[in-house]
C-alpha cells in the first residue's frame, strides 16, 4: 500500500550519475574555482610547454576535487586519472570528464590488471601525465599504496608529488577529510621534484620516499 509520500530524486542505489547532474556539479566547481587566487609553484618545470616526457603525478585523495578545474587546460588535455571501479568512482569519473581529463577505471580490488595495462599504454605516448590518488580509494589517509611504485618501475616514467594547499577551507566528514577551499581564498598549486624508481629498487623504501615528498608539500 502506498504511503502517499512524494518520492524525491536520489542517487542512492543508482549505479550511474545522470550527466545533467554531473554537468551542473562541474559548472558549480568551475565557478567556485574562478573565485580562488591560485599561486603555482613549479620549480622543476613540469608545466614547461616544451616538455615532452611523461609523468606519473601523485596526489592525496582529499585534493582531487579542485585539481582538475585549477589545472591549466593543456595539462588537463594530456592527463588521465585513475578512478576506482566502484559506484562512487562512477560518479567521480562522470564529473571529471567535464574538465577534458581522461579517465582510467580500476583499483587493486576490481579491474586492477586491466587498469595497470591501460596506464602503461597511456605513458607510452608523448607528453602524457597519469594522475593517481595514492591513498585512495579507501585510505588510510596520507598512506600511499604500492601500485604507483610498480607503475613507475614498469614504465620507466618518474613520479612527481603534487598538492593543493588552501589557506582557508572546509573539510568534509569523509575518510579522507576532502578539502573545499573557501571562495576567494588563496590556493597554492605545488609541483614537486620528479624522481625515478629503478626496477631493482626496494618498493617499501620508494613508497616511503614518495610519502615524504608528498608530506613536504602538504599543508594541513
pLDDT band of 8, cuts 50, 70, 90? very low
pLDDT band of 165, cuts 50, 70, 90? very high
Q: Is 115 in contact with 82 (CB distance < 8 Å)?
A: yes
Q: Count Cβ atoms within 10 A of the Cβ of residue 174 and give its class: 0-12 exposed, 13-18 middle, 19 or more buried.
A: exposed
User: What b/e sequence results for 102-124 when a residue is b if at least 16 CB atoms lie within 10 Å of its CB, and e otherwise?
Assistant: bebbbbeeeeeeebbebbeebbe
Q: Is residue 171 part of a domain?
A: yes
Is the pLDDT score of 127 beyond 90? yes
* Tens digits of residue pLDDT in 31-86: 999 999 999 999 999 999 888 899 999 999 999 999 999 999 999 999 999 998 88
Is the pLDDT score of 1 beyond 60? no
Q: Is residue 7 part of a domain?
A: no
Q: Is residue 90 part of a domain?
A: yes
pTM assigned to the model = 0.89
pLDDT band of 2, cuts 50, 70, 90? very low
Q: Sort residue 96 into left (φ over 0), alpha (ψ -120 to 50) or beta.
A: alpha
**Whole-number mean pLDDT of the chain?**
91
Q: Is residue 13 part of a domain?
A: no
Q: Is residue 138 part of a domain?
A: yes
Domain count, the chain: 1
Q: Is residue 201 part of a domain?
A: yes
* Tens digits of residue pLDDT in 145-162: 999 999 999 999 999 999
Domain with 143, as residue range(s), is 39-216
Instruction: Classify residue 71 by its DSSP letter.
Output: S
Dist CA 140 CA 177 (whole Å): 11
Question: So what's the pLDDT on residue 108?
Answer: 63
Q: Is residue 16 part of a domain?
A: no
Q: Which of 220, 219, 198 is nearest to 209 (CA)?
A: 198
Q: Is residue 32 part of a domain?
A: no
Amino acid at each position: 500500500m502506498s504511503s502517499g509520500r512524494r518520492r524525491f530524486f536520489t542517487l542512492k542505489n543508482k549505479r550511474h550519475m545522470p550527466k545533467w547532474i554531473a554537468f551542473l556539479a562541474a559548472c558549480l566547481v568551475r565557478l567556485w574555482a574562478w573565485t580562488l587566487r591560485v599561486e603555482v609553484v613549479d620549480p622543476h618545470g613540469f608545466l614547461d610547454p616544451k616538455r615532452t616526457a611523461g609523468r606519473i603525478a601523485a596526489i592525496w585523495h582529499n585534493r582531487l576535487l579542485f585539481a582538475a578545474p585549477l589545472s591549466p587546460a593543456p595539462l588537463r588535455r594530456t592527463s588521465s586519472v585513475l578512478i576506482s571501479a566502484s559506484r562512487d568512482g562512477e560518479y567521480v569519473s562522470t564529473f571529471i570528464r567535464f574538465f577534458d581529463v581522461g579517465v582510467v577505471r580500476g583499483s587493486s580490488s576490481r579491474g586492477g590488471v586491466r587498469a595497470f595495462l591501460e596506464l602503461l599504454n597511456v605513458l607510452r605516448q608523448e607528453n602524457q601525465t597519469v594522475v593517481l590518488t595514492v591513498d585512495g580509494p579507501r585510505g588510510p589517509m596520507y598512506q600511499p599504496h604500492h601500485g604507483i611504485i610498480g607503475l613507475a618501475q614498469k614504465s620507466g616514467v618518474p613520479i612527481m608529488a603534487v598538492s593543493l594547499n588552501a589557506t582557508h577551507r572546509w573539510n568534509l566528514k569523509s575518510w579522507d577529510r576532502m578539502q573545499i577551499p573557501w571562495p576567494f581564498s588563496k590556493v597554492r598549486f605545488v609541483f614537486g621534484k620528479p624522481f625515478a624508481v629503478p626496477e631493482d629498487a626496494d618498493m617499501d623504501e620508494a613508497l616511503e620516499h614518495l610519502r615524504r615528498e608528498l608530506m613536504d608539500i602538504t599543508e594541513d
